[in-house]
Chain A
Amino acid sequence: MLVLENVDALYGKSHVLHGVSIEVRAGEVVGLLGRNGVGKTTTLKAIMGMVRRTSGRITFDGRDLAGVPPHGLAGLGIAWVPEERRIFRLLTVLENLRTGLDRPGIAPARREQLLEKVYSYFPILRERRSQGGGTLSGGEQQMLAIARAMMLEPKIILLDEPTEGLMPRMVAQIQEIVHALHRDGVAILLVEQNVPLTLDAAGRVYIMEKGAVRHHASAAELRADQRVIHEYLGV
């Protein structure tokens, strides 16, 4: 479904990608592991068209993303949950959700359904729906960022370090959501530092180092033999 072929990208001076090739199939959860600054976030930004690509190809359902404007990706079924969450701070929780809900061609009944669904996943968001996005705690903002992405009914979610800086209870909740999305058939490209969570949630894992993919294996293989993990991540 989502295919990156030999992608080279430039983002400032230090953030570069060298020949990154990654594939995510429909409904699949794929992990992207690596230390800080190895190009995981840059890879997601390359998919979102936010960094300058110098060579290579990114296709989604066979369509080259090079010609798609940045606001056209959501319509194709690609949703982005950035590392910084990027909640619209001055919009209420409900208004944040509406940025993904107020799109052409969605029936009112379907809107209600989608809202009900995320409220059932994240009851706290229903409670806080009239509250400003900026007033939420870090964990709540992460939930809102994921819920907002779900409003687009995406085929794939690019999930960037969703558990970073969260309390263990929140981490467990995010993990639960990743499983739930997987059950719903949503593909996820999961960038994480949290190795156990990634090996639990993902079917396959790519490991990056210095802007390139160094290793690719199934999560089961990596769970059985963690030497690769030690080598590249030092944990």
Chain B
Amino acid sequence: MDQIIIQTLHGLVNGMVLAMVASGLTLIFGIMDIVNFAHGDLLMLGAFVGASVVGVTGNYWLALVVAAIVIAMLGALLQITTLRPLIGRDPLTTILATFFHLQYPWYRVATAVLAGLIIGGLWLFLKYGKYGIWIRATTQDRVMAQAMGIPVPLVYTAVFAIGSAMAAASGVLFGPFAGVTQTMGFDFTLRAFIVVVVGGMGNLGGSILASIFVSLLESYASIVVSPAQAVIVSFVVLVMTMLFRPTGLFVPTPK
């Protein structure tokens, strides 16, 4: 019983981690049809900027904000100077490290809650903000959005910056338990891609649900098999989704 509770908690925490990474990715894909392979690298850079700020000032909150702003500017610069997607990495090299603790580390839960708050903030911004409406309108019909006077080129740059800031914030948030290394982006990006596809590409809500769904499944699977083998679950979900519901698991069936 304890194990099930711990695995549920574990799945939820990992789900929020993943949702945070995936939301930046899906936002950029949804609006620009760009699969941003640099997402993981932006995440890693964000973590480094964050770690540096913490090192100098010792202030975690400042690190979070500074990393997000710096990487947002970098993202905007990347987008403006015509973005060149990096080449995808070999999925097989990625192995998820899953941890077992009898006593669950509560700082992880706190991090997941913080991630939830940031994702919630993004959602509120997209839902109610003037610029959120601009972004959603542009996602749905770029030509009509332009005809309504929405400055679409600016929206593209802004979305790329926001997506980059989300990656950076993820890096800062999860650096403490994943370890800040040059390769930390790998794991997150691959898994983020999986949930973005499973959730329906470009669909923010779908990506978040898929993140939690896949992470929970993996957590429960690791009760029976080894954590390294449990990773297979996300690929199984991916393949099944591609086979039976290629538009995404959490997208209403198109009429």
Contacts and interface: CB of A to CB of B under 8 A. Distances in A.
A70 interface: yes
A86 B144 CA distance: 7
Q: Chain B at the A interface: mostly helix, strand, loop or mixed? A: helix
B147 A88 contact: no
A71 B150 contact: yes
Contacts of B141: 86, 88
Nearest to B147: A80
A90 B252 CA distance: 12
A103 interface: yes
A72 B150 CA distance: 8
A143 B151 CA distance: 25
Contacts of B151: 71
Contacts of B105: none
A34 B153 CA distance: 36
25 contacts: A70-B146, A70-B147, A71-B150, A71-B151, A71-B152, A71-B153, A72-B149, A75-B149, A80-B147, A82-B147, A86-B141, A86-B144, A88-B140, A88-B141, A88-B144, A89-B140, A90-B136, A91-B136, A91-B140, A95-B137, A98-B133, A99-B134, A99-B148, A100-B149, A102-B134
Interface in B41-83: none
B130 A102 contact: yes
A48 interface: yes
B148 A152 contact: yes
A69 B143 CA distance: 12
Nearest to A134: B255
Given A71-B151, A88-B140, A102-B133, 13 more contacts: A69-B153, A71-B146, A71-B149, A71-B153, A73-B147, A73-B149, A88-B136, A88-B137, A88-B145, A90-B140, A95-B133, A98-B130, A100-B149
A103 B151 CA distance: 10
A74 B143 CA distance: 12
Contacts of A91: 133, 136-137, 140
Interface in B143-192: 143-153
A103 B149 contact: yes
Nearest to B139: A90
Given A82-B144, A98-B130, A152 B137 contact: no
Contacts of B133: 91, 95, 98-99, 102
Most buried by A among B134, B144, B147, B149: B147
A95 B150 CA distance: 13
A89 B152 CA distance: 18
Interface string A87-108: 0111100010011101100000
